[in-house]
């Protein structure tokens, strides 16, 4: 039995194979995971029912399991109607989790179309599709190095 809180065998296998700069996407329920991913990325579908699990729950598990250098989220283009409301509410939860689990890291918004380009790179190794219904809740992690 593992001591880590993350127990999903396919996710653990992908994390173990990932090296420095490997990218892991935690996608919300609206993300087009079947078509917007890198050529080497595996897709793990975790949708149990609407809202379960959330991106925040998966983010917390991954930050506690693997070394992460960057935590990026899909930024809202200025011409999008959602941009008028400021940051999406879920981002404050992401910031709290990052501060608690990975001090020193910050949530880095990347504009939507640039975010898709980052995801479609050859460095993208894993998409974890959640059933999160929050808007603009996609998070892209860039793996760091184990220094211990």
* Percent residues over pLDDT 70 in the chain: 99
Helix (H) or strand (E) holding 74: strand 68-75
Q: What CATH class is the domain 21-143?
A: alpha beta
**What tokens does 85 get?**
């409301």
Is 148's pLDDT higher than 80?
A: no
Give the pLDDT score at 124: 98
Is 4's pLDDT higher than 80?
A: yes
Is 1's pLDDT higher than 70?
A: no
pLDDT in tens, 66-101: 999 999 999 999 888 888 888 999 999 999 999 999
Looking at per-residue confidence, does 14 or 81 come out higher?
Answer: 14
> Which has the closest alpha carbon to 129: 23, 40, 24, 38?
24
Res. 106 pLDDT band, cuts 50 70 90: very high
Q: Are 107 and 94 in contact (CB under 8 A)?
A: yes
Res. 109 pLDDT band, cuts 50 70 90: very high
Q: CA 108 to CA 19: how far, in whole Å?
A: 21
> Which has the closest alpha carbon to 139: 82, 70, 81?
70
Residue spans per domain, the chain: 21-143
């Amino acid at each position: 039995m593992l001591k880590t809180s993350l127990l999903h065998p396919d996710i653990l296998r992908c994390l173990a194979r990932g090296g420095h700069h490997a990218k892991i996407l935690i996608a919300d329920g609206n993300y087009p995971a079947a078509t917007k991913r890198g050529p080497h990325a595996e897709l793990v579908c975790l949708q149990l029912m609407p809202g379960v699990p959330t991106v925040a729950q998966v983010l917390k598990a991954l930050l506690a399991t693997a070394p992460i250098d960057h935590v990026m989220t899909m930024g809202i283009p200025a011409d999008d109607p959602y941009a008028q409301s400021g940051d999406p509410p879920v981002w404050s939860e992401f910031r709290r989790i990052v501060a608690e689990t990975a001090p020193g890291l910050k949530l880095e918004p990347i504009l939507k179309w640039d975010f898709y380009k980052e995801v479609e790179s050859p460095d993208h190794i894993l998409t974890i599709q959640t059933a999160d219904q929050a808007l603009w809740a996609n998070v892209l992690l860039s793996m760091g190095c184990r220094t211990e």
